[in-house]
Structure 1
């Protein structure tokens, strides 16, 4: 017998705000976190000079020095997002954290790039180990976020790091959902983070997938738009506290939403070219797992990053499942592409919007590309929508696809 899984805590750190009040205001006002990055002009050959860093975020003063030794910025972002979500769930200093029945499923695109550069620069560039701090590797190991969170909060349950690029956060939530659903844990801290670094934009730049609209950063990225020219890298972290329904009821805490479905699959074809068939299949698998029909879904939070191929493929897959009846929008125009954090941040924001009865538009979507399928694109301004069930999708290099389904909690 499977268990019902609910969301009892959530938090996010973004380029447009560090809490829901700030993020909400930015989404409703059409404010973007994208800005010009002057220092990138010093990098020879880098065409993209825009990004969306979370400039307001600073290291919390109460974090002990001992803990900070093993944290790069990505782990700091992750830890703070988890801390805020735990406070929201009334679990910050709860004995359940160290009971062995609370676990972590949290990911990132990678560990901290500056730490990786410092280590490899000395080793491979200067051919020496001198100057490499003993804790440097702990900052850039692939499970740095999950491991640091576990150490910081004394988590003794399962720790499942996810490192699947743009699906890291959504797979983190999905694996956490499964762990509780099948009785292995009672509480899971789930999400993803990524810090802002030139290495990430360089990856997309060499693939000609990054936006070069450097003189008008507020007008890029442009998901689904006919004039889109690529993605913009962002920064952030998000966390959902997932909990067994009966465990949450016993604690007497507010419930924000219910997770009712999750699916993940792989195209198994090409490393960077998305396959609409795989995207369509993961949505159908998510619906089947939730035991609902396409007509039961009221809103789709699209992955849409602003790349020509990705947006077109996703729109066609979404249309194949839902037709043109359902509101669809992407949050990348506001936040940039936060990579390993995007699945968690977009899930958090989707739940918050669902609770309030509105959805954000796709910022900078002015004229839908004729190559994209004829969906009900939310444009220009927020739309009032009675959302009972929402789907949040993410897609990553390697053909990895995820779909999450959330149901509004009406008590």
Structure 2
């Protein structure tokens, strides 16, 4: 009764993540040492429209006791906490396209600072006509409706915008000694995290602040740019966004660092993208194989000088990767992932 599609996806992936971590049903979930840091751009949009109908039709027949819980921006975090009966910190992250990465970053900080031993972290988003319409009004979406296999095409000269997707990604973050003591399978370490805001424009990205958040993440991790073997780009396929991000990345790395965009496969999953992309970045790092950007045929000469992985995957062995996300409102995040060594 309290879950719309966005919360359902969040809870389902959280359950799968807890199973994978060997923590489903463990007492640590309910003893106050486990928290939730999770977000989405909005609550369930069907529920929001039901509330609008009350104003238009002057009736409340579409509403019930769970309607508000479905629509509120913290619906994913709250429903995860209620479903698994956690009693630790609850950190809702409704920060548009950085909701998922912000959830991971704040979870990392909660464990790093000793407040929690385990955090359920990530992001989710449900697709809805209203969301597609919003991006259409901003002239941000691709118009290649008749050739969907050709779009999105991040960093390509002929790109024409993003494609909206949906989904959820959930990670279990755990304090190292606690995970080690119980013999948990560890996939990677979060070595650093940073977030900042542009403070300049609601939709136009600021490449200087994008660069700054990457530098802050490197400082947080205590590593140099030369130690990063791959960058997962936010890479939405928008004209201004791809240019600003790539120029910022070039500014930080001062070399042609390997880079690609997962959104060329998934579309832009908004509040979920940071979590989904972090999971896939870990998988690629561990498998020493990094995906190319789909539909990248001719690199836009206005983009930064980087090593764009295109056409086929790339074998790269690296100890560190960076994954970046940027959101409307000038909200920037950068996460440094480290390969786990026993």
Q: Give TM class, smaller chain.
A: over 0.9
Partner residue in 1 for 2:17: 85
Q: How far 1:127 sits from its partner (Å)?
A: 1.7
Q: How far 1:293 sits from its partner (Å)?
A: 0.6
- The C-alpha deviation readout for 1:274-299, integer Å capped at 9, x for no partner, is 00001000000000111111001110
- The C-alpha deviation readout for 1:57-78, integer Å capped at 9, x for no partner, is xxxxxxxxxxxx1100000100
Q: How far 1:115 sits from its partner (Å)?
A: 1.1
Q: How far 1:410 sits from its partner (Å)?
A: 1.8
* Over 6 Å off, 4+ runs: none
Partner residue in 2 for 1:75: 7
Match for 1:140 among 66, 71, 91? Answer: 71
Partner residue in 2 for 1:180: 111
Gaps of 5+ in 1: 1-68
Q: How far 1:323 sits from its partner (Å)?
A: 2.6
- The C-alpha deviation readout for 1:25-57, integer Å capped at 9, x for no partner, is xxxxxxxxxxxxxxxxxxxxxxxxxxxxxxxxx
8 Å CA contact retained: 1:323, 1:375: no
1:326 aligned onto 2:282: no
Equivalent residues in 2 for 1:98-247, closer than 5 Å: 98-121=30-53, 123-247=54-178
Gaps of 5+ in 2: none
- The C-alpha deviation readout for 1:130-188, integer Å capped at 9, x for no partner, is 33112111111111001110111111111100000000000000000000000000000
Give the structure-2-normalised TM-score: 0.99
8 Å CA contact retained: 2:190, 2:338: yes
Partner of 1:298: helix, strand, or coil?
strand
1:262 aligned onto 2:157: no
Partner of 2:60: helix, strand, or coil?
coil
Aligned-partner Cα distance in 1 for 2:156–2:81 = 41
Aligned-partner Cα distance in 1 for 2:65–2:12 = 24
8 Å CA contact retained: 1:111, 1:144: yes
Q: How far 1:374 sits from its partner (Å)?
A: 1.3
Aligned-partner Cα distance in 2 for 1:199–1:143 = 19
Aligned-partner Cα distance in 2 for 1:343–1:132 = 32
8 Å CA contact retained: 2:234, 2:261: yes
CA 1:392–1:312 in 2, change beyond 3 Å: closer, same or farther? same
Q: How far 1:324 sits from its partner (Å)?
A: 3.1
CA 1:203–1:131 in 2, change beyond 3 Å: closer, same or farther? closer
Aligned-partner Cα distance in 2 for 1:131–1:376 = 52
Give the structure-1-normalised TM-score: 0.82
8 Å CA contact retained: 1:103, 1:159: yes
Aligned-partner Cα distance in 2 for 1:332–1:191 = 17
Worse overlay, 328-337 or 112-121: 112-121
Partner residue in 2 for 1:272: 203
